[in-house]
Amino acid sequence: MDPVSVAGVASIVGGKVHFQGEEREVGSVAIHSDRLQADSLFFALNGVTDGHRFVARALANGAIAAVVDEARLAELPAGQGTLIAVADPLAALQAMAVWWRRQLSSTTFVAVVGSNGKTLTKDALVGLLAGHRTTYGSPGSYNSQLGVALSVLQCPKDVPVAVIEAAATEPGEMARLKRMVDPHAVVFTNLGSRSGQNFGSRDEHARELLSMAAGLPEDGWLLMGEDDPGVIAQARQIVPERQIQKDALPRLTRQRHVERSSLVRAALPDGTEEDLLVATPSPEVLKDLELAMGAATLLGMRGADLLAAVADYTPPSTRMQMWRRPDGATVVGELANIDPLALSSALRTARSLMGAQGRTLMIIGDPLAGLTAETAEAMARCLRAENVQLVCGLSADTHGLIEAALVGSDVRVHRFADEDRMRAFVATELRPDDVALVHVPRDTMVTDSWMHLVETAAATRLYVDLAAVKDNVAAFRKLVGPHTKLMGVVKAEAYGTNPVTVAHTLREAGVDWLGVATADEGVALRRAGVQMPILVFLAVPGDLDRLVRNRLTPSLYSMEMYDAACRAAAGSGRRLDVHVEVDSGMHRSGLYPEAAIELLGKLRGHEHLRLAGLMSHLGCPDDPDEDDLTREQLKRFGSVCAAAAELGFEDVVRHTAATAATIRFPEARYDMVRIGLGLYGLQPSTATSSLITLTPGVGLVSRIVEIHNMVPGERVGYGGLFRAQSPDTRIALIAAGYYDAVPRAFRKVGYVLVNGRRCEIAGTISMDSMAIDITGHPDAEVGSDVLIFGQYAGFSTPIEQAAAAMDTVSHEVLTQVGPRVQRIFTQH
Ligand SMILES: *Cc1c(COP(=O)(O)O)cnc(C)c1O
């Protein structure tokens, strides 16, 4: 952004200056009081927290001025710096974006809108154009009223192309976004099958999204990724026919699945055809990539350039993968281009997400052709700064440069004649709690060459998509609004995943609290460096000293817990925050309302304890037939809250809702909601699925380890329940049994997926293995991946559906994933 005076800002945003400081020019904007640049203008927004509470801090941290709500001016500290008072600070930020957009008249702005796939399409388009023209892409999935404003304001001057993602979740939102983006061209990804929720109808929804393309310039275009004739008809009403682009564009046709990639045939409008290997197995990702190719073509990218860019393109979800071995060692695969900055951030992300306590190893499997001595030195500095203990490299000259730059430091360097030897060394070297960052060339999938490092013990893997977890946190944040706190429930190993990894992800996603069941679970999080507030639902009286020492907050669900809390707090000499649990009718844990009120009496003015929260748990909020019971529970809880207010308690965080109640009962949300299942994108019941869209993010995958050809009449497994019928019957053995999360009852689900095709379960499930029928499925072979439940590689068997077939809930299906199963975390 070009520098502008405070008076200039005031005139852009229509505000009034309350001048108290020296005159300096503004060159950037900030919305976090601790993330300022030297020339930042701070905007006090009402988001998750009230930005006005941070104005003083922002000014103290050097903000040139703060844009504030004029109605709040009186409460703000005077004399600390310049304030610009406006009617609506968010609208003011948007006005700045509109102003900056006008300065960027030589940049071609492309807006990406639609229900699904926006971020992928945008990132793919930016990736494809990268070698062709300098292109700016909006960061991450910034696409809201705030996100688009920041995206536009961060767009540098003089870039030829800017690609901005924009999302409307309510009628009328697109018009505000359009003023900021003012696009030359629009890419419409799709309308999605579950659209229309907030828009009255699908048509309304389509019109809203398409309104981004209203009044495009003469040479502008609208690229449609949606085939639905109804949606195309809507587009025709908004954009002249000749500007709508659908045909005569590149096409990608998937030929087949190759390991974790797809072999595709790319056909360009000029008739060129070429087979390419694209680093994704997912048809959805290919569709987004195809659309991005269309947009790149319309932006002037042609022939060989375009095909080369597609072959180079790595979808973001495969850029970084993390595996945790059963012994606790972590292997992180990195595919991004190596540069010192990216290296630092990859090392840090990996260590913090995995809560790593051990050593850090850097494994360079990429020859790094063309690396200069200067970059090698920068890399060496970064490896030292990040406390990497061991670097493994190849005999390549470039790796020699890195080794030379590390001479005299504490970093050990080992170089190997080939990758096999390096892998064998790393396999014996890696210890529990170590993190190994593996860097391989862009065109290899880390999973292929390095998988065996983590596979010594397990062929069965639980994939957890941390990006989906973040998306789900965002969906709940949107649902409950800015004033309700979010607690992420990470008990039971975070539902069978990994509590430390999930906890760090939740913190990054803006979750306020964590919840666990036992003291041990809380202590383990503290040991791994998790600093967030943690509530322990079901500690026992003997745990209290440990809770105090570890800054864990107990829930007092009995008088014994109260007595123990008094003793522990008195002994520590510090005041202890406690939550009181009310049994409002589920009769699991908690004090009856009368007893809870009695306890409140004791807590009033208590020397050692402070009532920080009041909680209850609901028995059947997922079941519409039992809504009367739920309301009765809420009423009883409400009466205890009223008593607390009468007794003069203030700042008490009241909470009753887990995932289901959060979605179905707004009145149950109170001051905080406790989300467990929903973090993984799972729906508690069919009654919730129409009310919120979540991103499923977990999949259990195993592998075929053996294949048998059967003779008719032969029987399989314990009890001989499966009987071969035809002479070509083939049975495959999978290395996952009931110890690994496939309970015997899984037979009732009936099938698993191999390359997306259903294969029936053959006979009984054993402790360590199960058999499936792969007759008539020639591409199922030893080593093929088998999706047991959840999401993987673009295929899915909903966990909710599997749970229902087994007469249980998704919670149980997830938490049964046993210790032998490899947890693999992916993140964008
Ligand atoms: C497990 C638990 C939750 C989370 O429940 P979900 O249905 O998984 O969201 C919330 N609160 C308490 C007290 C719990 O025990």
Q: And the tokens for 233?
A: 């008809």
What's the Cα-to-Cα distance from 144 to each of 47, 188, 478, 679, rounded to whole Å? Answer: 12, 16, 11, 21
10 Å CB burial of residue 587 (0-12, 13-18, 19+) is: exposed
Q: Is 136 known to be catalytic? A: no
Q: Are strands 40-43 and 28-30 parallel, antiparallel or unpaired?
A: parallel
pLDDT score for 443: 44
Q: And the tokens for 439?
A: 């860097």
How far apart, in whole angstroms, are the C-alpha atoms of residue 755 and residue 785? Answer: 7
The dihedrals phi and psi of 795, each to the nearest 5 degrees, come to -105, 160
> Residue 803: pLDDT above 80?
yes
Label residue 761 by pLDDT band (50, 70, 90): very high
10 Å CB burial of residue 728 (0-12, 13-18, 19+) is: exposed
The CB of 659 under 6 Å from ligand 1? The reply is yes
Cα-to-centroid distance, 489 and ligand 1 (Å): 6
> Residue 182: pLDDT above 70?
yes
Cα-to-centroid distance, 676 and ligand 1 (Å): 6
> Residue 451: pLDDT above 80?
no
- Residue 579, helix vs strand vs coil: strand
pLDDT score for 454: 54
List 470, 491, 680, 738, catalytic entry:
491
Tell me which range, 67-71, 372-376, 689-693, is most confidently predicted by mean pLDDT. 67-71
How far apart, in whole angstroms, are the C-alpha atoms of residue 287 and residue 538? Answer: 47
Q: Which residue is closest in CA terms to ligand 1's atom 4? A: 676
Greater pLDDT, 290 or 457: 290
14: region left, alpha or beta (phi > 0 left; psi from -120 to 50 alpha): left
> Residue 23: pLDDT above 50?
yes
- The second-level CATH assignment, the architecture, of 465-680 is Alpha-Beta Barrel (3.20)
Q: pLDDT tens, 463-515?
A: 999 889 998 998 998 899 888 999 999 999 999 998 988 998 898 788 999 99
Among 6-15, 54-63, 290-299, 318-327, which is the least confidently predicted range? 318-327
- Domain 328-457 in CATH 3.90.190.20? The answer is yes
How far apart, in whole angstroms, are the C-alpha atoms of residue 463 and residue 785? Answer: 12
| 662 CA closest ligand 1 atom index | 9
How far apart, in whole angstroms, are the C-alpha atoms of residue 268 and residue 742? Answer: 46
CB–CB of 300/196 below 8 Å?
no
Average pLDDT over residues 136-157: 85
| 517 CA closest ligand 1 atom index | 15
Cα-to-centroid distance, 516 and ligand 1 (Å): 9
| 674 CA closest ligand 1 atom index | 10
| 491 CA closest ligand 1 atom index | 1
How far apart, in whole angstroms, are the C-alpha atoms of residue 767 and residue 214? Answer: 61
Cα-to-centroid distance, 620 and ligand 1 (Å): 12
The CB of 676 under 6 Å from ligand 1? The reply is yes
The CB of 658 under 6 Å from ligand 1? The reply is yes
> Comparing C-alpha atoms, which of 480, 139, 505 is closest to residue 354?
505
What's the Cα-to-Cα distance from 182 to each of 108, 204, 299, 357, 731, rounded to whole Å? Answer: 10, 21, 17, 49, 59
Instruction: List Cβ<8 Å contacts ≥24 apart for 414-419.
Output: 414/390, 416/392, 418/394, 419/365, 419/394, 419/449
Percent of all residues in the chain with a pLDDT value above 90, rounded to a whole number: 57
Q: pLDDT tens, 255-280?
A: 887 655 788 999 998 888 999 888 77
Greater pLDDT, 344 or 650: 650
Ligand-binding annotation for 767, yes or no, is yes
The CATH number of 698-826, from 2.60.40.10, 2.40.37.10, 2.60.120.1310, 3.40.50.620, is 2.40.37.10
Q: And the tokens for 767?
A: 């402790």
CB–CB of 643/611 below 8 Å?
no
Q: How many residues does the chain have?
A: 828
Q: And the tokens for 441?
A: 């060339």
Label residue 527 by pLDDT band (50, 70, 90): confident
Ligand-binding annotation for 588, yes or no, is yes
Among 394-398, 592-596, 633-637, 792-796, which is the least confidently predicted range? 792-796
Cα-to-centroid distance, 543 and ligand 1 (Å): 21
> Residue 424: pLDDT above 60?
yes
Average pLDDT over residues 371-391: 87
Q: Which among 487, 537, 556, 589 is the best mutation to test ligand 1's pocket, defined by most ligand atoms within 8 Å of the CB?
A: 537
Q: pLDDT tens, 311-363?
A: 877 665 445 667 766 666 777 776 555 566 667 767 776 776 666 678 999 98
> Residue 459: pLDDT above 90?
no
Please state the domain extents for the chain. Answer: 6-92, 104-312, 328-457, 465-680, 698-826
Q: Is 718 known to be catalytic? A: yes
pLDDT score for 491: 97
The CB of 353 under 6 Å from ligand 1? The reply is no
Greater pLDDT, 428 or 568: 568
Q: pLDDT tens, 391-411?
A: 999 998 999 999 999 999 999
How far apart, in whole angstroms, are the C-alpha atoms of residue 414 and residue 205? Answer: 58
> Residue 86: pLDDT above 90?
yes
Tell me which range, 40-49, 227-236, 245-254, is most confidently predicted by mean pLDDT. 227-236
> Comparing C-alpha atoms, which of 358, 321, 340, 351 is closest to residue 453?
321
Label residue 442 by pLDDT band (50, 70, 90): very low
Q: Which among 518, 579, 674 is the best mutation to test ligand 1's pocket, defined by most ligand atoms within 8 Å of the CB?
A: 674
Rounded to the nearest integer, the mean pLDDT of the chain is: 88
Which amino acid, residue 76? L
CB-side neighbour CA atoms (13 Å) of 344:
10
- Domain 6-92 in CATH 3.40.1390.10? The answer is yes
Tell me, which fold does domain 104-312 have in CATH?
UDP-N-acetylmuramoyl-L-alanine:D-glutamate ligase (3.40.1190)
Q: Which among 472, 489, 497 is the best mutation to test ligand 1's pocket, defined by most ligand atoms within 8 Å of the CB?
A: 489
Average pLDDT over residues 453-469: 76
Q: And the tokens for 60?
A: 């103290």
Greater pLDDT, 292 or 154: 292
List 16, 157, 478, 718, catalytic entry:
718
| 487 CA closest ligand 1 atom index | 10
pLDDT score for 804: 94
Average pLDDT over residues 568-576: 90
Q: Are strands 108-113 and 161-165 parallel, antiparallel or unpaired?
A: parallel
Cα-to-centroid distance, 630 and ligand 1 (Å): 15
Label residue 372 by pLDDT band (50, 70, 90): confident
Cα-to-centroid distance, 512 and ligand 1 (Å): 16
